[in-house]
Structure 1
Amino acid sequence: MTDKQRRVWDRSAPRYDRQIEFLERRWFTGGREWLGARATGRVLEVAVGTGRQLPHYPPGVTVTGVDLSAGMLTIAPRAGLRRVLGDAEHLPFGDATFDTVVCALGLCTIPDPVAAIGEMKRVLVRGGRLLLLDHIGGVAPVRAAQWLLERVTIPTAGEHFTRRQLPAVRQAGFEIVESQRLKAGTVERVHGRKP
């Protein structure tokens, strides 16, 4: 699945910013600002894509972005970002390398989110912050529509709409500092701390 997803994201990279802009304004409103306000120190952004999160980080942080798609990374800004081609399930960094790990709208497409969250924990220092923003399964009637949509999006792009990351974050042993569900339960923000 990883090779297929790489091809999908490489093909969609030139159009990605235009396609996601409306959803970010209407559906994920304030999510990137929420992530940026909590990021500190050495930041790793997993599934950095085209770098849409970069303007929302505070001054003084250093940002490394990792993405599976070379096409996405070529669009991501060169200034202010160390770009690394890599897989979220096998992060190419040493243990306890980062103070904050951010993943914005990425876990929904990572084939094994549990493995990716485990890797995010591994590369965090003790007391490090995990910051997630993603779409998840909403309230009952919305969830049914999301499930139907997944019949198309999972086989074509590996895109899941009914996953929920919070249980995996808890299972990985993170302390939950805060979590929010918005937009009929379809958007979740999670701030975890590595003990």
Structure 2
Amino acid sequence: MPPPTTIAKSRRVWDRQAARYDRGMRYVEARLLAGGREWVASRATGRVLEVAVGTGLTLRHYPADIQLTGIELAPAMLDIARRRATALGRPADLREGDAHALSFPDESFDTVTCVLSLCAIADSATALTEMRRVLRPGGRLLLLDHVASTSRALHLLQWLVERVTLPLQGERFTQRTLPLVRATGFDIIEQERLKAGVVQRIHARKAPSG
């Protein structure tokens, strides 16, 4: 569990970025991540928790018949997500929360999603453990993120970028997410690597008890 000072710094960083976040993501998503949010949302069923919902860019893609809850650390990001949900007519329980300590009982959700956010959560392993805890047995974990490239040249570039992004905003570019998901006790159902391995989509399952 990261110290409170780390969590507070992350909240300040993303609060400052909230107003320009959507504009900055527009080009990145069009060139690098097209179809990613749709891929995640199309696999969500039942009671769904989106961890680090951000400004709510995935909201429009979820099926109409799910029951959606979202948590977000940064209040300014959350305000935008709430306005977006209202504009879309999308019923959702959007609340402030920390991915390291989810304020939900065990086995509360059928699906947990995390879109382009695990890379910026200070302790990914703790967050994944919490996601597993709140999933029912057999529940789905759906992730989209940028990870360490399979290209050595790109991996080096990511490492260099990380020298700036890690101290400034806690964002990692060389994380290897799939081993973390497996180590947390999930079974992998689907996984894709795109764009020289920089983009990864993961569909995993919490093994049924017994």
TM-score, normalising length from structure 2?
A: 0.91
Aligned to 1:89: 100
Aligned to 2:3: none
In the alignment, is residue 119 of structure 1 matched against residue 106 of structure 2? no
Aligned to 2:197: 185
Alpha-carbon distance between aligned partners in 1 of 2:49 and 2:11, rounded to the nearest angstrom: 20
Q: Give structure 1 stretches of 5+ with no counterpart.
A: none
Alpha-carbon distance between aligned partners in 2 of 1:110 and 1:15, rounded to the nearest angstrom: 20
SS at structure 2 position matched to 1:189: strand
SS at structure 2 position matched to 1:108: helix
Residue 126 of structure 2 aligns to which amino acid in structure 1?
Answer: A
1:78 shift after superposition:
4.3
Which residue among 166, 184, 193 is the counterpart of 1:154? 166
In the alignment, is residue 5 of structure 1 matched against residue 10 of structure 2? yes
More helix by share: 2
In the alignment, is residue 101 of structure 1 matched against residue 112 of structure 2? yes
Alpha-carbon distance between aligned partners in 2 of 1:42 and 1:164, rounded to the nearest angstrom: 28
Matches within 5 A, 1:1-195: 1-76=6-81, 77-79=84-86, 80-138=91-149, 139-195=151-207
1:84 shift after superposition:
1.3
Q: Give structure 2 stretches of 5+ with no counterpart.
A: 1-5
Q: How many residues align?
A: 195
Q: CA RMSD in A?
A: 0.7
Whether the aligned pair in 1 keeps the contact of 2:190 and 2:204 (CA below 8 Å) is: yes
Residue 120 of structure 1 aligns to which amino acid in structure 2?
Answer: M
Alpha-carbon distance between aligned partners in 2 of 1:20 and 1:81, rounded to the nearest angstrom: 23
1:4 shift after superposition:
0.8
1:104 shift after superposition:
0.1
Alpha-carbon distance between aligned partners in 1 of 2:65 and 2:51, rounded to the nearest angstrom: 19
SS at structure 2 position matched to 1:127: strand
